[in-house]
Chains A and B, each alone.
Chain A
Amino acid sequence: MGELLLAQTTDNAGQRGMGALVALMLFIAASVWLGTLAQRVVEKGNFLRGYFLGNRGLGVWALALTATVQSGGTFMGFPSLVYSYGWIGTVFIAAYMVVPICGFAIAGKRISQISRKAGAITIPDLFRERFNSPLLGMLASVFIMVFMSIMMVAQFKAGAIVMKLSLPGAESLALAEDTSSALDTGFYIGLAVFSLTVVGYTMIGGFLAAVWTDLFQSVMMWFGVLILLGLSLYAAGGLEAATKATIDSQGIAYASGPGAQHLKNAATGDMTIKPWLPITGAISLFCLWPFSGLSSPASIVRVMAVKDTRTLRHSVVVLCLYNMCIYLPLIMICICARAVMPDVKATDEVIPRMTFFVTRDLPGGSLLAGLILAAPFGAVMATVSSYLVVIASGLVRDLYLRWIRPDASQGEIRLLAYLAMIVVGILAVLANLQPVTHLQKLVVFSTSSTAAAFLVPLIMLCYWRRANAAGAIAAMLSGVATVIFLYGQGIVEQGWQQLEPARPLGFDPMIWSCASALVMGSLVTVITPPPADALAAKFFDAENSGESR
């Protein structure tokens, strides 16, 4: 079957592949154009606040569709899981039903208010000023840079894969899964094009470039996913036919929990079944997605940049509707993909491969494929550019300006910001010369780690008047230490290749790390002196409170 498809598509591969490439190039050009538009706005005011925070002017659409969720994981890792394990993938992602309201309504108002009162441009600024602690600011800065860099490396791989698959002639490989050297060359070309584009437009326009291109890309994703859904359902003969076909080929476990993968032993031909998402795993994820979303650095920065509270409120509604239109269709697409392409080995690539599969016989199919592929490509570019801004702001604002040269000129700061982005981009490319495996696992590790570092300290920052720097530092350190300990234990038990953490009682490290952060943060806070009254009053009392009236 695969050989037949390969033969059919190789004839016109060059011509068809060019269409996909043209579509992606148009998409890239539009993103760069948005970057230059953003640059004009940045030029108008204070460079730092404009470049790293968009002058606190984010509106509803910009906040809602860019603040949290889509990443390379959305279009690479997650579809890979649904393709492999079946309908249980819906439970894996179910918590996205409450991600919008949790992301904006639990701490959004307070974060944006406190960041204004503190004059904070970056997250370390926020912690440092709220708790009056340079050490806490430094810690926040280090954790952000380490964990976001890990996440970004994974994103570069995802971007390179999409670009690789859209290169002329590559789609035949997309169907036949050739793993020859041509594919590796394609990966490196893809990596180069992707890196130059994303670093380029982010460097030009900073935070606003990241947000505007993210918004544009999110809209493209919406169209891409819905078109792909229609084509996938058509290719599979409807969802019912697809589900029944997958149950027939994969067994009942494909349509039930905990989900199972049937692994065939090549030597003996024996089948073994590997269970996937136990109920404790489902519980962990229902905590992980909403609360890690709320405490993810890219998300916090956007909330800091919000224009007003009305924007926060309306963003909840927009993001709720958007999530429903993205995640549920993605699951259906993957079920259809399993029905029509049952043997994809590189499951991270299932969405790009499915795209080429369903458009292969359509007139103008290649151009359409390019437009659909813009969805995963856009998701990855969006994530990378927002991380680039956060990491560069960390290097410039939190390290250089705080510790090295507080009186640096605007020109010097600008040059340094550009340089920081280029260096981070180069490092990410170098890290991908030997591409990382297990994209989704790296994303989950990094998500768990940032949640461990920031969730509890962030809640303390927003709502606990008595909270002090010692307590926040204890919470941050114990959270991160717990995640690292559990991953370390998992690696000792199962080896590097698995990259699986230990899960005491079946619960994810995020649960344990947040519990330990909560306990340590509270304990250390109550046994150390309360914060200075003036500091607490600044962030917790009404403006005219305390004055005699």
Chain B
Amino acid sequence: MPSRKEDPVLTSARREAWLTLGIWAISFLWTIGYCSQFGYNLTSAPELVYGIPSWILWGVITPWSLSTVASFIVSTFVMTDEDLGEDVEEPPSVIEAQREATHG
């Protein structure tokens, strides 16, 4: 029985997808966790840092900056380049339909 070998593009794409989901999850937990804890239903005016409410600075702008750094690291050093393959001229179904239309 012939052996089946997974497409290397699929293997690397899947690994990168999981990594990206990890970055999404950490950003999600940080932002939602911090903002819900320190930014919601305040009873007094929030402390301002350069005019920005401090909960926005720590709850959104900081993770925004860090996720940008993480995205840079992953896309530059972790993601791999692969050959995407040659373009098929037309899908088989289109060629089939054209042949049928031409011949009858």
Q: Which residues of A contact B45 (CB under 8 A)?
A: 247, 252, 255
In the complex the two chains form, is A257's CB within 8 Å of B28's CB?
no
Interface string of B38-69 (1 = CB under 8 A from A): 01111111101011110110011101110110
Given A97-B64, A97-B67: A282 and B102 within 8 A (CB)? no
B23 touches A98 (CB 8 A): yes
Measured in the bound complex, the distance between the Cα atoms of B3 and A106 in whole Å is: 28
Given the interface pairs A105-B20, A316-B71, the reply to whether A406 lies near B51 with Cβ below 8 Å is no
Least CB distance from A458 to B in Å reads 12
A310 at the interface (CB under 8 A from B): yes
Q: Is the CB of A316 within 8 A of B75?
A: yes
A contact residues around B75 at 8 Å (CB): 101, 104-105, 313-314, 316-317
A interface, by DSSP: helix, strand, loop or mixed?
helix
Q: Using Cβ atoms and an 8 Å threshold, which residues of chain A touch B65?
A: 324
With an 8 Å Cβ cutoff, the count of chain A residues facing the other chain is 80
Q: A129-B93, A317-B76, A401-B94 are in contact. Are A257 and B36 (CB under 8 A)?
A: yes
A102 beta carbon closer than 8 Å to chain B = yes
Contact A110 B13 (CB under 8 A): yes
Q: Which of B32, B51, B52, B101 contacts A282 (CB 8 A)?
A: B32
Instruction: Report which A residues bind B (CB closer than 8 A).
Output: 56, 87-88, 90-91, 94-95, 97-98, 100-102, 104-107, 109-110, 112-113, 116-120, 125, 128-129, 132, 134, 238-244, 247, 252, 255-258, 279, 282-283, 286-287, 290, 308-310, 312-314, 316-317, 320-321, 324, 328, 401-402, 405-407, 462-463, 537, 539-549
Assess the A116–B84 pair: CB atoms within 8 A: yes
Q: Which of B8, B35, B94 contacts A542 (CB 8 A)?
A: B8
**Cα(A22)–Cα(B61), bound, Å:** 37
Known contacts A91-B39, A243-B53; A541/B87 CB under 8 A: no
CB distance from B52 to the nearest CB of A (A): 7
Structural contact, B89 and A119, CB atoms closer than 8 A: yes
Minimum Cβ distance to chain B for residue A446 (Å): 23
A to B CB contacts below 8 Å, 29 in the list: A91-B31, A97-B31, A98-B20, A100-B71, A101-B67, A101-B71, A105-B74, A106-B21, A107-B17, A109-B16, A109-B82, A110-B10, A113-B13, A116-B86, A116-B87, A129-B91, A239-B50, A243-B48, A252-B43, A256-B46, A286-B27, A286-B31, A309-B80, A310-B81, A316-B72, A317-B72, A320-B68, A463-B14, A546-B3
Known contacts: A252-B45, A406-B101. The answer to whether A282 contacts B36 by CB under 8 A is yes
